[in-house]
Amino acid sequence: MSHHKISLGLLIGQAHGGHPAAWLHPDTNAAGSTDIAYFRSLAQIAEQGLFDLFFIADTPAARTDNLHAWSRFPMFMNVLEPVTLLTALAGATTRIGLGGTVSTSFSEPYNVARQFASLDHISAGRAAWNVVTSANDYAARNFGHASLPPHALRYEKASEFVDVVNALWNSWTTTPSSSTAAAACFSTRRASMPSITKASSSRSTAP
């Protein structure tokens, strides 16, 4: 008899629940989206339940029109920045993976590489990045654009963006060793470091 394993992930889009009216339930923490103690308890329950991943969905925008409707369904209207939140949760958990959404349309490769590398070190290797290109013009307007770029252009940039982030992550040795100490050399650039000369939208040079 064969045994199959599955990986379980807990997706947190809205801390108070996915239903538009979930925040109205008397047992719901209506302010949970900015309550770190609440998120800490959710992550710990997921870890105790043997989930593999605690995942924060996100968009870098609040709704700015049709507020009569959105005020009744506070979707992404008042939420914590995911990498900051996950870093706080790293100290409250020990095993569960910590995944968060960061858009390639409104970020820079070096910043994303540094944020998730930091989270990975703080959590002892439990960081995960959900790569998205954003899907609404609310986000575009937050960054000074009237609308999102076309779908194909966003995904072309995302592919280049991920290549650059991976190259940055792999550009240096990770930790000093006895041999580097003997040579008085704390870290070295990897010999296989690729040349990062992608499209101007994602241009970066490894430090």
pLDDT score, position 67: 83
Structural domain boundaries of the chain?
9-202
Fold type of domain 9-202: TIM Barrel (3.20.20)
Under the phi-then-psi rule, with left for phi > 0, alpha for psi from -120 to 50, and beta for the rest, what region is 143? alpha
**What is the pTM for the complete model shown?**
0.85
What are the beta bridge partners of residue 35?
none
Statement: residue 181 has pLDDT above 70:
no
* pLDDT, mean of residues 8-37: 89
Tell me: the pLDDT tens digits for 25-65? 999 888 899 999 999 999 999 999 999 999 999 999 888 88
Statement: residue 206 has pLDDT above 70:
no
The pLDDT confidence band at residue 22, using thresholds 50, 70 and 90, is confident
